[in-house]
């Protein structure tokens, strides 16, 4: 996640779209929430205005 923030900083990126449909996360949910919170705090130091995330239906427990 730090690499994403580092890449956004010099370019002045305002919009970020993350396609996480094929991502597999094998960490406890509590630890995952901490990682996302730190990512959000890091984004606060950039010019980012909007963040969108594409997720699969499995993420919400609704397999097709």
Full-prediction pTM beyond 0.85? no
Tell me if 47 sits within 8 A of 13, measured CB to CB: yes
The DSSP code for 32 is H
* 23: pLDDT strictly greater than 50: yes
**Burial tier of 27 (Cβ tally within 10 Å: 0-12, 13-18, 19+):** exposed
Q: Which domain holds residue 53?
A: 2-60
The answer on pLDDT for 54 being more than 50 is yes
Can you tell me the mean pLDDT for 36-47?
87
Residue recorded with tokens 């130091």: 45
Number of domains forming the structure of the chain: 1
pLDDT band per the 50, 70, 90 thresholds, residue 64: very low
Whose tokens are 């597999």? That residue is 24
Chain mean pLDDT for the chain: 80
The confidence score (pLDDT) of residue 3 equals 83
């Amino acid at each position: 996640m730090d690499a994403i923030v580092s890449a956004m900083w010099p370019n002045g990126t305002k919009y970020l779209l993350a396609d996480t449909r094929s991502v597999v996360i094998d960490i406890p949910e509590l630890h995952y929430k901490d990682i996302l919170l730190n990512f959000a705090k890091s984004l606060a130091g950039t010019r980012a205005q909007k963040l969108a995330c594409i997720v699969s239906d499995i993420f919400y427990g609704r397999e097709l």
